C-alpha cells in the first residue's frame, strides 16, 4: 500500500486487553515507542488522514490499544496504535499496566507482521528502547525503526542522528527510516519498508 492508495481508513477496535483484540487475522503493523514520540501522528500521515488516531501535545494520550483498518482494492491491513511508555508523570501501577497490556498484544500475536519502534531524532535511545528491540527479537517479530520529528533538525545533524540511533539500537542502517509527520518526508520510504515486511 502507499499513502495515495489508502482508499478507506477506519477504527475497528479499541481494546483494554486481549478480549478486545480483532480475531479476523488481517495482517497487522504495530507502532510503539515513548509517550509523545509521535506514534499517532505518523500513523495518520501514513494513512493520509488527519484525525484517524488522536494526537496531543500532552503525553499519555493513547492509553488503550487502537486498531485501524486501511484498505484498497489490493486488500486490507491493520495499524495498531499502542500506548506510549516512559511518561514520567504516571504511577508505578500505571507503568506496570502499560507493560502488561503491550506484552499481552506483542507476545504471540499471529497477524503481527512488523513492529515499528519510534525514536525521537533529538533524543538518544535509552534502556527501554534497547530492551524492547531485544525483546522483539526474542519473539521473532521483525522490527523497523522510524526516527520521528526529523524536521526539528537540519540535514547534516539529521543524518548524524539517524546513524547514532541505528548504532545505539544495534539496527542495520536500512532498517532505520528518518521521518517527519508534520512535513511528510520519509513516508514513501517507510511504506516501502512496511510493504517489504508485509509481503517479503
Ligand atoms: N515537529 C514535529 N512534531 C511532531 C511530529 N510528530 C508528532 N509531533 C508532535 O508531537 C506531539 C505528540 O504526537 P502524538 O502523535 O500524539 O504522539 P504519541 O506518540 O501518539 O503520544 P502518546 O499517545 O501520548 O503516547 C504532538 O504535539 C505532535 O504534533 C513531527 O514529525 N514533527
Ligand atoms: Mg498516541
Residue in 38, 82, 162 to alter for ligand 1 test, most ligand atoms within 8 A of Cβ = 38
Ligand number, closest to the Cα atom of 85: 1
Residue nearest to atom 11 of ligand 1 (CA): 57
Q: Please, which pLDDT band fits residue 124 given cuts at 50, 70 and 90?
A: very high
Place of cell 519473539: 139
Give the pLDDT band (50/70/90) at residue 98: confident
pLDDT in tens, 157-168: 999 999 999 999
User: For residue 139, what are the contacts with CB-CB under 8 A and spacing of at least 6?
Assistant: 106, 107, 108
Residue 14's CATH number: 3.40.50.300
Cell numbers for 108, please give them.
Answer: 504471540
Number of domains making up the chain: 1
Report whether residue 44 contacts ligand 1, using a CB cutoff of 6 Å: no
Radius of gyration of the chain (CA): 16
Is the CB of residue 34 below 6 angstroms from any atom belonging to ligand 1?
no
Domain that holds residue 34: 3-199
- What share of the chain in percent tops pLDDT 70? 94
pLDDT of residue 62: 64
pLDDT at 88: 63
Which ligand 1 atom minimizes the distance to the CA of 63? 23
121 confidence band (pLDDT: 50, 70, 90): very high
Task: Identify the pLDDT of residue 116.
Answer: 98
Model confidence over 53-96: pLDDT tens digits? 988 777 666 678 999 999 988 889 999 999 887 766 677 887 78
Q: Which ligand is nearest to the CA of 152?
A: 1
* pTM summary value: 0.94
| pLDDT tops 80 at residue 104 | yes
| 197: nearest Cα among 175, 180, 166 | 175
Query: Which ligand is closest to the CA of 34, given by its number?
Result: 1
Percentage helix, strand, coil for the chain under 3-state DSSP, each rounded to 5: 40, 25, 40
**162 Cβ inside 6 Å of ligand 1:** no
Instruction: Write down the mean pLDDT value for the chain.
Output: 91
Q: Rounded to the nearest whole angstrom, what is the distance from the C-alpha of residue 37 to the centroid of ligand 1?
A: 5
86 lines ligand 1 (CB under 6 A): no
Task: Give the tens place of pLDDT for each residue, 12-67.
Answer: 999 999 999 999 999 999 999 998 999 999 999 999 999 899 887 776 666 789 99
Amino acid at each position: 500500500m502507499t499513502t495515495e492508495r489508502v482508499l478507506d481508513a477506519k477504527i475497528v477496535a479499541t481494546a483494554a486487553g486481549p478480549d478486545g483484540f480483532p480475531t479476523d487475522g488481517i495482517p497487522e503493523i504495530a507502532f510503539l515507542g515513548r509517550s509523545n514520540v509521535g506514534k499517532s501522528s505518523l500513523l495518520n500521515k501514513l494513512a493520509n488522514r488527519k484525525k484517524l488516531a488522536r494526537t496531543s501535545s500532552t503525553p499519555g494520550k493513547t492509553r488503550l490499544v487502537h486498531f485501524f483498518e486501511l484498505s484498497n482494492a489490493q486488500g486490507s491491513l491493520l495499524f495498531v496504535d499502542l500506548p506510549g511508555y516512559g511518561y514520567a508523570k504516571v504511577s508505578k501501577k500505571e507503568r506496570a499496566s502499560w507493560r502488561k497490556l503491550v506484552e499481552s498484544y506483542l507476545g504471540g500475536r499471529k497477524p503481527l507482521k512488523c513492529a515499528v519502534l519510534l525514536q525521537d531524532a533529538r533524543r538518544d535511545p535509552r534502556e527501554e528502547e534497547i530492551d524492547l528491540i531485544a525483546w522483539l527479537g526474542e519473539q521473532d517479530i521483525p522490527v523497523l525503526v522510524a526516527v520521528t520529528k526529523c524536521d526539528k533538525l537540519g540535514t547534516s545533524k539529521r543524518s548524524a542522528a539517524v546513524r547514532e540511533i541505528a548504532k545505539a539500537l544495534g539496527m542495520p542502517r536500512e532498517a532505520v527510516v528518518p521521518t517527519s509527520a508534520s512535513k511528510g518526508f520519509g513516508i514513501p520510504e517507510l511504506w516501502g519498508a512496511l510493504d517489504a515486511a508485509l509481503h517479503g
